[in-house]
Structure 1
Amino acid sequence: MSVITIFPQMIEQYLASSVMGRATKRELLEVTVLDLRSFTDDPHRSIDDAPYGGGPGMLMMAEPMLRALSDPRVVAPVIGLSPIGKTFDQVDARALSSLAGFTLVCGRYEGFDARIEERCDRLLSIGDFVLAGGELAALVVIEATARLLEGVLGNETSAKDESFADDLLLEYPQYTRPREIDGAAVPEVLLSGDHGEVDRWRYAQRLVRTMQHRPDLIERRGGISEKEVEILHRYGYDELLHSFDKERFER
């Protein structure tokens, strides 16, 4: 994959660290960072100018970006990172991870010249808020996508059990030593050695967490199945089921 940015060091430094750094060293991940300023043709390496029609701030100029997009290191599809784009999610990450590559274009200042947006194959946003530039958004997209690549994570089952996996449920709570902190103990089921029961309990916790914190995901997946209702009954979550159904009805 490739990234077009005016701050290449921001991308390079992060990708040299932690999981992404190990993946790069093992050649499981290859990211080419293109410095937009190297595609300018003036002594000041200008990449922004005042917008036509007036208004606050500066706008990224079209010409340097067009030159950058013509570079042979740019891999299609070209994805512009912009607040007006579709909100990036795990489905997008999975789709991007199946591609041979793609290019992320990082905006700055007041954003892109509209003619650059038109040259992008798609626009993505990481949320309904505004950042100083697209570099952090690019890193979010890269990491969310790269960790789905085979071999990037040490445990290949990790990505399958996490929040926003195929079933749109949040991840279950996890615990490590000590067994008790200020009276809060590790659930006995996790100490039982009964792996089947642990799996059932964890699935119930995924349902509970999603119902409590992200009911919109329950709606997106079409509700809760009869089998899932039985699992919640098994662990005593009848009140949660009742209140959840009532809340959905009242909405």
Structure 2
Amino acid sequence: MIKFTIVTLFREALEPYLKTSMMWKATEKGLAEFDFVNLRDFGLGPHKSVDDTPYGGGDGMLLRCEPVFNAIEPVKAKDPDAKVILPTPVGVIWSQKLAREFAFNSGLCPSGLSPWADGTNSRAAALRNTPNQNANSHFIILCPHYEGYDERILSIVDYKISLGKYVLTGGELPALIIIDSVVRLIPGVLGGEKSAEIESFSDGDNLEYPQYTKPYDFRGMTVPDILLSGNHGEVAKWRAEHSGKAG
């Protein structure tokens, strides 16, 4: 089973999605578990503040150390092997390959090892290529907000993950993307036995072949006849020829 503990100010932005479709199916089958920690509960002062102005001046507010450490440390105390993920523009670019490694292999990551903590993928080899579907994995995802976060927070982060060269208002959307892309790969979540094996990006930068369903003729656009031939060898050849690579 894989567990995600999400540290956030906005649980209400996450919960509806995680109770829907495949994420709901994964929890019902006992394949995934989602837990929440309200960062505001660990805020400082009468207003439960979690941010403050940056030293040296500048626009915006920064996420403070104290609330983050106080929110994460009790979770780590219960499960010292839990790994902390921080969505951040300076992290390793998320990919299908990394999603697969998190889904199958991260339970084997040696305790105390912090791959990618330096912002590169140079330590990604720490995640072995041999799937271990029986390993129980626990990830803590910190959802940052405001202009940024105090740099000292990185001292408790195991994985810095970036979704690309753009900036969002908070970490909730990246958290959902990371969770969804990992959980859907767990055997038993998707309907087809090989659904996740042949889709786009399942093998590097491959793109899945075109697919069709009924009706045969829709507004003059017809299904390629080879797909109706019943010749599995020729169908496989056609699919291979029409698979592509991401540009």
The answer to whether TM tops 0.5 is: yes
1:82 equivalent among 85, 88, 105: 88
Match of 2:172 in 1: 135
Partner of 2:90: helix, strand, or coil? strand
> How far apart, in 1, do the equivalents of 2:13 and 2:30 lie?
20
- The amino acid across from 1:186 in the alignment is V
TM-score of the aligned structures, taking structure 1 as reference length: 0.79
Match runs of 1:96-245 below 5 Å: 96-98=102-104, 99=107, 100-206=137-243, 209-210=244-245, 214-215=246-247
Q: How far has the Cα of 1:35 moved from its partner?
A: 1.0
**Where do 1:28-39 residues align within 5 Å?**
28-39=31-42
Whether 1:20 aligns to 2:6 is: no
Aligned to 1:233: none
Q: How much does 1:162 deviate?
A: 0.5
Report the Cα distance in structure 2 between the residues aligned to 1:19 and 1:186, rounded to whole angstroms: 29
Conservation of the 8 A alpha-carbon contact between 1:11 and 1:33: no
Determine the structure 1 residue equivalent to 2:58. 55
User: Which moved further from structure 2: 68-77 or 136-145?
Assistant: 68-77
- Offset at 1:167? 5.0
Distance 1:103 1:185 in 2: 48
Q: TM-score, normalised by structure 2?
A: 0.81
Q: Residues of 2 paired with 1:66 and 1:106: CA distance?
A: 13
Shift, 1:146, TM fit: 0.4
User: What amino acid is the match of 2:96?
Assistant: Q
Larger radius of gyration: 1
1:140-194 Cα distance to aligned partner (Å, 9 max, x none): 0001000111211111210001011135311111111221223221111111111
Corresponding residue number in structure 2 for 1:94 = 100
Determine helix, strand or coil for the equivalent of 2:86: strand
1:42 aligns with 2:69: no
Q: Is 2:93–2:162's contact at 8 Å kept on the other side of the alignment?
A: yes
> Equivalent residue of 1:160, what SS?
coil
Q: Which amino acid aligns with 1:142?
A: I
> Would the aligned equivalents of 1:146 and 1:152 in 2 still touch at CA under 8 Å?
yes
Give 1 or 2: higher strand fraction.
Answer: 2
- Aligned-residue CA RMSD in angstroms? 1.5
- Identity %, equivalent residues: 44
Greater relative contact order, per chain length (Cα 8 Å cut-off, separation 6+):
2
